Structure 1
Amino acid sequence: MRKIKLILILLICCSLITGCAETKILERISLVTLIGYDNGDEDKVTATTVVRQINPEFESRVETQTETEATSKGTRIKVDMKTAKKLAAGQLRVVLYGEELAKQGIEESIQTLLSNSEISTSVYLAVVRGESKTLIEQNYEGISDIGQHLYNLIDHNIEQQQLISSTLHEIGRDNQSKVRNFALPILKKEGQFIGITGTAFFNKGKMVGELPSSDISYLVLICDSFKSGTLELSLDSESISPTVETKGDTLNLAVDSIKSKSIIKVTDAKKNEFDLNILLKCRLLETSNKIDISDPKVNKTIEKAMNEKIESEISRIIKYTKEIESDIFGFGEEYRSQVRGANLTEEKWMEMYKKMKLNINVDVEIIRNGVYE
């Protein structure tokens, strides 16, 4: 009797839960997979929406709709009026911002996305070189759904740690912080292909600078812990001679990061001084000329030269972010958490960031040579 009562209670609970859920039948809705925003006329916004339509035979068709209105919500209403089925944003994968709009500011758009419970916070955000409308409306060979294609492009590069993650959740979190800024990948149409060409830096929701894709690995080294991915380096022959012979002025290396760790520490709060310690264990995959990495002396020389090279590149990047006033690395967050009574404001921290003294210490260890050793 007791078991029967328990079963009845479970059935009642299940029926109540089912009754609260909104049923969405695929052939009765239009799935939004991608939205691109650009500047419109008279301070309006232009939204280009990629919609996937599914018929009763479960055959899908992708179409694009472009509308201009004062707000992003207004553009959605206009698109809805042109679509025979209700728009559903639950399958939205990527949101793009045209370069001009990104420079004017996307803070309001981010807040609008976050306030929409229908949209997942795992959506990726990115900047487009030029207009997003032009990139979206291009016919690409072999791409049936550009929304899904761009999601896969960004997602797999993040997994390979060749890109800083830019989900709506992460961008919204950083944008809410008073002492941290955010960065987005830059996409560019190159013929029949779409490539990741750099990283856009933001301050107060406005794009204030950018770095090329060749610097992305260094950004990942500072912001995150490497678990995979590759890094290419060009070492000056002077930094490794006479231990290592080179055919030209440089020795080009490709290393595969096995494990890395980035630690930011406030060493002197009064002097606004920080230590950035990066531990990197990697394997040497390729060199521009043959070297005997099994020789301990050669190995140590290469490691020392790599330390100096990475430290120099990171110093250059940090200097640039100070100039454009964009702390995407979290130095302000670390200062606030490590220094009691810091009472940092956005303006106070940015003044401190520009004058911050940073000691960069990189410790590279080549743990094995290639795949088979």
Structure 2
Amino acid sequence: MKKGNILIVLLLSCILVTGCTSQEILERIGLVTLIGYDAAEEDKVTATSVIRQINPELQSKVEVQSETESTSRGTRVKVDMKTSKKLAAGQLRVILFGEDLAKNGIEDALHTTMMNNEISTSIYLAVVKGTSKSLLEYPYKDVTDVGQHIYNLMDHNIEQQHIISSTLHEIVRDNYSEVRNFALPILRKNGEFIQFDGTAFFSHGKMVGNLPAGDNFYILMMQDNFKDSTLELVLDGQSIDSSKFEEKQLQIAIDSIKTKRKIKVVNPEQNEFDLTIDMKCRLLEINSLIPTSDAKLLEKIEKAINEKVKNELSRILKYSQEVNSDIYGFGEQYRAQVRGAKLTDQKWREMFQDMKVNVDVDVEIIRNGVFE
């Protein structure tokens, strides 16, 4: 084929493809950036939508609309009837669930969201202490777009490994797994601020427990490896054994934390695991009376950190077993390491509550301060 004919074919193809594309004019649509769901009376659901609307001068206005119906689709129709523009969910960034709804179960909401081809699987999910409606409708003084603010808040803290990652893709994957559960961050309103309040544990789509924000570090440590993190600790001062320091408690801060997690099945018949955490860190802050240049004293600090972290991990793991929510992947490791395991949902739920985990932590302080 001649070059001229090839060019004509390419141009015609471009015209045809352009003609088939559905176009949306920005000034004629309302962009839904966040949706909050709450349990309502008579098994209904209240949906609160944060909508950004852009006028012909490219100036944007944010409004919050709330409606109650039997289904999330029904609430969207009601909100549509109150707005002058067509609602589009393509820019949805966050979905929130009120505490009561989370306890009743969010599997239907997850299923409905996954069926909507407008919505990206990279959106974030979270639980709200109380109701999402009250969180979203409050007139914050320094927040002009509450939807964008919450998205930025979650995105930043997930990237910094301060809270667990909770994209729609990750949550749906874990929810449909027979041997793993999922967890979501908890948000709450604190005066004029929105902050993280902890982690919600789920089993079969229902919130079955929660732990405070101070435990996030240890939850994340058991879920995955740390690349760079910071932690404040209160150690047993007597274990440091310093003649210059006689306080009962020693407060320290460590950063540049890097960890490697390993889960190994050591006795399938007895349902026994080894959980090993290797942690390297920098000693950032410590009482000025402690001579950190003393190698023997530094070893005692490492040992004290070992014991502290080990006790915290054991405590949180015990709580996870009490609420029967395996968000760490012990079931996946058992299935992968034990030939012919044939785990079912019911079988693993029984095994998880009774499993024995030997926790071992190995801490190495690689630097003291910024000059070493």
**TM-score when normalising by structure 1:** 0.96
Aligned to 2:27: 27
Quote the offset at 1:220 in angstroms: 1.1
Taking the TM superposition and a 5 Å limit, the aligned residue runs for 1:115-264 are 115-242=115-242, 245-264=244-263
Aligned to 2:110: 110
d(CA) in 2 for partners of 1:279, 1:4: 65
Quote the offset at 1:293 in angstroms: 2.0
d(CA) in 1 for partners of 2:226, 2:245: 29
Taking the TM superposition and a 5 Å limit, the aligned residue runs for 1:1-373 are 2-242=2-242, 245-373=244-372
Give secondary structure in 1 for the equivalent of 2:48: strand
d(CA) in 1 for partners of 2:293, 2:9: 69
Contact 1:257 1:280 (C-alpha < 8 Å) held by counterparts: no
Contact 2:39 2:98 (C-alpha < 8 Å) held by counterparts: yes
Quote the offset at 1:189 in angstroms: 0.5
Q: 1:3 to 1:295 in 2, by over 3 A?
A: farther
d(CA) in 2 for partners of 1:345, 1:129: 33
Contact 2:264 2:275 (C-alpha < 8 Å) held by counterparts: yes
Contact 1:30 1:54 (C-alpha < 8 Å) held by counterparts: yes
Quote the offset at 1:173 in angstroms: 0.6
Q: Summarize deviations over 1:34-81 as a string: whole Å, max 9, x none.
A: 111111121100001111110010001011111100011110111111
Quote the offset at 1:4 in angstroms: 3.7
- AA at the equivalent of 1:68: T
Give secondary structure in 2 for the equivalent of 1:82: coil
Give secondary structure in 2 for the equivalent of 1:343: coil
Give secondary structure in 2 for the equivalent of 1:283: strand
Q: Summarize deviations over 1:317-364 as a string: whole Å, max 9, x none.
A: 000000000000010011111112111111110110111111111111
Contact 2:244 2:289 (C-alpha < 8 Å) held by counterparts: no
Identity, in percent, stands at 62
Quote the offset at 1:298 in angstroms: 1.5
Task: Give the unaligned 5+ runs of structure 1.
Answer: none
Quote the offset at 1:197 in angstroms: 1.0
Quote the offset at 1:2 in angstroms: 4.5
Quote the offset at 1:16 in angstroms: 3.9
Quote the offset at 1:143 in angstroms: 0.7
Give secondary structure in 2 for the equivalent of 1:22: coil
User: For structure 1, which segment, 98-107 or 249-258, has the greater mean C-alpha deviation from structure 2 after superposition?
Assistant: 249-258
Matched residues, number: 372
Q: 1:35 to 1:275 in 2, by over 3 A?
A: same
Task: Give the unaligned 5+ runs of structure 2.
Answer: none
- AA at the equivalent of 1:359: N
d(CA) in 2 for partners of 1:308, 1:235: 9
Contact 1:247 1:289 (C-alpha < 8 Å) held by counterparts: no
d(CA) in 2 for partners of 1:156, 1:366: 27
d(CA) in 2 for partners of 1:8, 1:362: 68
- AA at the equivalent of 2:184: L
d(CA) in 1 for partners of 2:63, 2:28: 16
Quote the offset at 1:233 in angstroms: 1.1
Q: 1:100 to 1:295 in 2, by over 3 A?
A: same
**TM-score when normalising by structure 2:** 0.96
d(CA) in 2 for partners of 1:228, 1:13: 49
d(CA) in 2 for partners of 1:9, 1:300: 74
Q: 1:200 to 1:289 in 2, by over 3 A?
A: farther
Q: 1:147 to 1:3 in 2, by over 3 A?
A: same
Contact 1:246 1:289 (C-alpha < 8 Å) held by counterparts: no
RMSD: 1.5
Q: 1:289 to 1:16 in 2, by over 3 A?
A: farther
Q: Summarize deviations over 1:213-233 as a string: whole Å, max 9, x none.
A: 000011111111111221111
- AA at the equivalent of 1:224: D
